[in-house]
Structure 1
């Protein structure tokens, strides 16, 4: 991690890209866990070499040969899409996150910190034709609100076709995925238990979501035998 790589794009100077900072004790390598994180927190940030960025929902898919893809669409009114075809991009997915108070620890000294899970994907963009774009939209609807699929009363075909003219579909052919779970797993068991309990009792929905993620992953709750 942290090695420098050349990030070259036509008509732009060579740029130096740094890998995501991931200490060994918080690295996430489990492919299924990474896929689950992307699928559950699929609102990503797509960043191109020109440092233009667009926030958008994305679909993760893995082909039978192991190749991974991210599918999405962008408004034609957003000029960013004109810079994407064939370009190498970074896509960031942010999982649950929360402020962590040092008062939650049983041991001291301690300082405030922030715990979170995140995934960085890099890959090359390929623009989609109208048919593939329509399939991407259908899959997004099926994922987030299946009952809308084929609902002509709410989404008449003519209306959908009209709006489809205003978007551009694309996929990212993923060549690298890096992920981390900074969940306080390096702390002593009693510290982990204190943090987890505080998160579950928090008035913040984001903090409670982080606690649920920690429980599902069995990391940072103080219940893991390795804690």
Structure 2
């Protein structure tokens, strides 16, 4: 991903926030047998680790197709994004653009044993079930436990220590404040390109920029 100094997201904590808030990711491998391979899985941060460490799983035989453990993979996380019309700028000639926040994370996966894999699967289920009014657990009952053991056998758990990342937060930082406010207003409206999530991300970015200038 080509970087632009105006839009670089260099903060490890900023990337961690992106991962926490957008845990559906794309895993890309450059394999010897099949060339480029991509799969999509939910990913959690290992909050006990130093740096950025991802926890996830793949369904068999994806670990073979991706040749996991043999080489570095790229994991792509994508946050809010959307079309920005030139009509939201001013009366001057302009072209449209696309605002977005994304990160490319690089590391070599470690394949987990059966017990560790089960713990990762349980953590994933708990993470997404916790907000539910009546959370379902993988091993909440003997019947659930037996079923979970059968399902887990068809998966492979992964721990991916991230050794480097490239991240970009393009939120109209090159536009004056009045234009930014107009863009946010359009994104918060009811037009064809309204996006409250992108508006919130822009607000977060520009509030930090304005505070730094104050």
TM-score range, shorter chain: 0.7 to 0.9
Question: What residue ranges of structure 2 are gaps of 5+ in the alignment?
Answer: none
Which segment is superposed worse, 139-148 or 116-125? 139-148
Instruction: Tell me if structure 2 keeps the 8 A contact 1:34–1:119.
Output: yes
Aligned equivalents of 1:35 and 1:151: distance in 2? 29
The corresponding residue for 1:214 is 202
Q: 1:63 to 1:153 in 2, by over 3 A?
A: closer
The corresponding residue for 1:32 is 13
Alpha-carbon shift at residue 193 of structure 1 (Å): 1.0
Alpha-carbon shift at residue 218 of structure 1 (Å): 3.5
Instruction: Tell me if structure 2 keeps the 8 A contact 1:189–1:222.
Output: no
Q: Under a length normalisation based on structure 2, what TM-score does the superposition of the two structures give?
A: 0.85
Aligned equivalents of 1:80 and 1:49: distance in 2? 13
Question: What residue ranges of structure 1 are gaps of 5+ in the alignment?
Answer: 1-19
Alpha-carbon shift at residue 170 of structure 1 (Å): 1.0
Instruction: Tell me if structure 1 keeps the 8 A contact 2:187–2:193.
Output: no
The corresponding residue for 1:13 is none
Which segment is superposed worse, 43-52 or 72-81? 72-81
Does 1:61 find its partner at 2:40? Answer: no
Q: Deviations over 1:152-209 (max 9, x none)?
A: 3697111111111111111112100221100001101121111110001145697211
The corresponding residue for 1:42 is 23
Instruction: Tell me if structure 2 keeps the 8 A contact 1:71–1:170.
Output: yes
Instruction: Tell me if structure 2 keeps the 8 A contact 1:129–1:169.
Output: yes
How many equivalent pairs are there? 206
The corresponding residue for 1:86 is 70
**Residue 110 of structure 2 aligns to a residue in which SS?**
strand
Q: 1:93 to 1:22 in 2, by over 3 A?
A: same
Q: 1:143 to 1:157 in 2, by over 3 A?
A: same
Query: For the aligned residues, what is the CA RMSD?
Result: 2.7
Q: 1:30 to 1:67 in 2, by over 3 A?
A: closer
Does 1:160 find its partner at 2:148? Answer: yes
**Residue 163 of structure 2 aligns to a residue in which SS?**
strand
Alpha-carbon shift at residue 68 of structure 1 (Å): 2.5
Q: 1:49 to 1:120 in 2, by over 3 A?
A: same
Q: 1:87 to 1:207 in 2, by over 3 A?
A: same
Alpha-carbon shift at residue 220 of structure 1 (Å): 7.8
Instruction: Tell me if structure 2 keeps the 8 A contact 1:185–1:220.
Output: no
Aligned equivalents of 2:128 and 2:143: distance in 1? 15
Aligned equivalents of 2:176 and 2:47: distance in 1? 37
**Residue 162 of structure 2 aligns to a residue in which SS?**
strand
Alpha-carbon shift at residue 78 of structure 1 (Å): 3.3
Q: 1:80 to 1:190 in 2, by over 3 A?
A: farther
- Pick from 101, 111, 118: which aligns with 2:102? 118
Instruction: Tell me if structure 1 keeps the 8 A contact 2:139–2:145.
Output: no
